[in-house]
Every structure is written in C-alpha cells, then in structure tokens.
C-alpha cells in the first residue's frame, strides 16, 4: 500500500515567520488608544487576525498549533501590550457581627417555629 508521509515540524521556519504576525498586530494596535488596550472589545478583531496568523504560520511550517514555541511568542506579545492589565479581584469581607448573627438566627428561629407548629398540630389532630 501507499505510505503516508508525515512532515516534521520546522520550528526554525515557524520562529522565523511568527514575528511578521507580531509586527502586523503591533501596526493594528497603533490604531487603538493605549488607554483602551485592556478593553478586549476595542481590539478583538485585531487579536483574532493575530491568532489566525500565528496558527497559519505554524501550520505552514508543519507544526501543530498551539505549541510551546508559538505560545512563548504569543506570551511575549501579551507582555508587550497587556502587562498593565490586571483583573480586579473582589475582596470579600464578612458582614458586621450584628448582621451575621441576624442572618444566622432568623432561619434557626423559623425552623424551630415550624417544628413547634407541626408538633402542636399533630397533637391537636382531633380539632383539624
């Protein structure tokens, strides 16, 4: 039968071609105010083009995508453009003790009241 030839990943070719994707992305990002670089909606189309470019170049070099070398390149682009973007983490705090005690006692009291009502009604079944 016919043999299927497998192409080996040409990493050096891929690494040679990926910077063109980065340069194109850099040119597109110049159209976006740097204050808006953390707002994905401002440049999502440019980023999509960049991602497709890196995937295309990896595939043309017979490399799978993503791969560690391409990811390293993409990480470098992220550091260049998005290093000042941090996710704001919500710092949760316990409510004041008065509110916490109230939030705990209300369900406990309601449960006790319902148990008392059920027991009382079951003893008074002759009236119901």
pLDDT on residue 3 = 45
CA-only gyration radius of the chain, Å:
31
Local structure of residue 6 (DSSP, 8 states): P
pLDDT on residue 5 = 44
pLDDT on residue 4 = 43
pLDDT on residue 124 = 79
pTM of the model: 0.62
Measured CA to CA, the distance from residue 38 to residue 58 in angstroms comes to 27
User: Which of 4, 7, 59, 48 is closest to 25 using CA atoms?
Assistant: 48
Measured CA to CA, the distance from residue 28 to residue 48 in angstroms comes to 11
* Domain residue limits, the chain: 9-81, 94-127
> Averaged in consecutive runs of 10 residues, what is the pLDDT profile of the chain (128 residues)?
63 95 96 90 94 96 93 94 78 86 94 93 74
- For the 9-81 domain, the top CATH level (class) is mainly alpha
């Amino acid at each position: 039968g016919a043999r299927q030839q497998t192409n080996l990943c040409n990493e050096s070719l891929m690494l040679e071609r990926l910077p063109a994707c980065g340069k194109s992305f850099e040119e597109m990002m110049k159209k976006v105010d740097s204050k808006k670089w953390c707002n994905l909606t401002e440049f999502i189309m440019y980023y999509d083009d960049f991602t497709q470019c890196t995937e295309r170049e990896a595939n043309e070099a017979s490399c799978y995508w993503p791969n560690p070398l391409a990811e390293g390149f993409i990480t470098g682009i992220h550091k260049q453009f998005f290093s000042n973007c941090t996710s704001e983490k919500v710092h949760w705090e316990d409510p004041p003790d008065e509110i916490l005690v109230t939030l705990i006692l209300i369900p406990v009291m309601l449960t006790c009241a319902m148990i008392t009502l059920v027991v009382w009604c079951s003893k008074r079944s002759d009236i119901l």
